[in-house]
A = this chain, B = another copy of it.
Amino acid sequence: MLRTMAAIGIGTALNACDSSSAAPARPLPPPPPGRLVSPRPGDWPANVGNGKSVVVLGAGIAGMTSALEMTRLGYNCTILEATAVPGGRNRTIRAGDVLTETDSQQTCMFDFDNELYFNAGPARISHHHEFLLGYCREFGIALETFTNDNRAALLHSTSSFGGQPIIARHVRADSRGNIARLLAMAVNQNALDLELSATDKTNVLEMMRQLGDLDSNFDYAGSSRAGFPGQENTGSRQRGELLNPLQLQDLISETFWQQRQVFSEGLNQQPTMLQPVGGMDRIARAFETQVAADLITEAQVTEIRKIANGTRVVYRDRFGTITSLDADTCVCTIPATVLRNIPNDFSAAHQAEISSFLYSTAGRIAFQSRRFWEQDHNIYGGISWTTQDITQIWYPNSGFGQNNGILVGAYIFGGPAAANFANLSPQQRIDTAIGEGVNIHPELSAEATHGFSVFWPKVPFQLGAWGTSSPATLLTGDDNIYFAGEHLSILQGWQEGAILSAYHAIDLIVARDTLT
């Protein structure tokens, strides 16, 4: 069990799901050897639970994973979920859905259609998130490709290129062209002769010629890779005329442009990712089916207590009745932002970490619209980026060719902009998002309808988007209480992180129960 403690809590900032593309200042330091293998279900002895009772607090991915796997180990689990619908931040918005935030309520007015939805929380799965993908396979959840880097999408800075959005492939081609040109120039000036042999130089030059689409003088004069003038409007009609290359000075002037080159190079943010067909909540519904017999919804936890050889959880059920539930063990997946306000018997150290645990602010605003991005701009899925507060525009990754789709007109995370948006009314959020969005897609002013927003800091029982502090004490049990949730993992903000955190909690419990 040496490995369990170290499995969690390393590299959190690097791996968080905030779509940040900033490269870390340093690669991760090498870890202590042999200490970073996270647990997986097959590691635990069969029937170790032996009928012991567990109360799991919260039916998000971490809670339902905990209950599912512990039930398989012979534990007798009960899940208390505060809301009517399990899934936590795994939430997909469709026609008729009602969202109550702490200071507003919205009803989703999208048309009824299988493709007219958006994922308000987790919305993409990395290919190496193997435990989540394993559950998808086990539960028969159909997956499809999520395009995270569409070269046909747009990059927009209010302070570059006259505020005109540029097609990503144009930025990419000219950035590579300039980088290749500069490195080739240095090689040809023999500036790197201490590093490169004559053969190396020949090979690097050829690599640069290919990388940058350079001419025979290793100069860059534009590339067909960028597309053709007006192509976003005229498609295949005009070929042969090259776009004027964007100038190096413009491409390096803002970190925005630099970062857009590397966003999808991160291990978790891949150019192509995965999503469940029909909405991310297919995963929540499948987990729910697995644990349905042990699930109590609309059960709001009001106290978490320690008792002799166990725990006591007090909750208010949907009828207002207060119930006290004793169990040998508690697995608490309630977000720290919520947990800190529930009376409890936690140790001072645990309480302190819960009280100070930081969460990211994030939210999305979505619209129903004619798929003008496909029909008029050849954009099929993916993300456009802007320096404006709305940060990102997401195009639907399925239903291509249908007339209408749901556009995520803003995905705002971290920083003051997200907090500011969260504090706006739903209508103000919509107005602001449209006001900025038209600088990228003027069509939005006339065609974006039925705006709907979800800002996680305002969603009851979540009160935050994802944890950003580095967990320490919460990775240890507190008598018979153990903690889980994405915030306690190396993949904060990812569903895979929620699963890893559940495995970590189970590992601690199994270790305890194996020793006794």
Interface centre among A38, A185, A207, A259 (most CB of B within 10 A): A207
A192 touching B200, Cβ below 8 Å? no
Q: How large is the interface on A (under 10, 10 to 19, 20 to 34, 35 or more residues)?
A: 35 or more
Please, which residues of chain B bring their CB within 8 A of the CB of A195? Answer: 182, 185
Partner of A240, one of B11, B128, B221: B11
Partner of A151, one of B26, B225, B238, B271: B271
B128 touching A378, Cβ below 8 Å? yes
User: Looking across the interface, which residue of chain B has its beta carbon closest to that of A397?
Assistant: B145
Please, which residues of chain B bring their CB within 8 A of the CB of A145? Answer: 144-145, 147, 272, 380-381, 397, 400
Query: Known contacts A23-B213, A137-B375, A378-B133; is A149 also within 8 Å of B240 by CB?
Result: no
Question: Could you tell me the distance in whole angstroms from the C-beta of A148 to the nearest C-beta in chain B?
Answer: 9
Partner-contacting stretch, out of A55-63, A168-176, A442-450, A459-467: A168-176
Question: Could you tell me the distance in whole angstroms from the C-beta of A84 to the nearest C-beta in chain B?
Answer: 29
Within A3-43, the residues touching B (CB, 8 Å) are 10-11, 14-15, 21-28, 30-31, 36-38, 40
Please, which residues of chain B bring their CB within 8 A of the CB of A490? Answer: 239-240
Copies of this chain present: 2
Interface centre among A40, A128, A131, A200 (most CB of B within 10 A): A128
User: Looking across the interface, which residue of chain B has its beta carbon closest to that of A490?
Assistant: B239
Partner-contacting stretch, out of A261-269, A312-320, A357-365: A261-269
Partner of A215, one of B26, B183, B259: B26
A380 touching B127, Cβ below 8 Å? yes
B238 touching A272, Cβ below 8 Å? no
Please, which residues of chain B bring their CB within 8 A of the CB of A176? Answer: 265
User: Looking across the interface, which residue of chain B has its beta carbon closest to that of A378?
Assistant: B127
User: Looking across the interface, which residue of chain B has its beta carbon closest to that of A230?
Assistant: B37
12 contacts between A and B (CB under 8 A): A30-B240, A36-B238, A128-B236, A131-B235, A142-B400, A182-B183, A203-B252, A213-B262, A224-B267, A225-B267, A236-B500, A240-B490
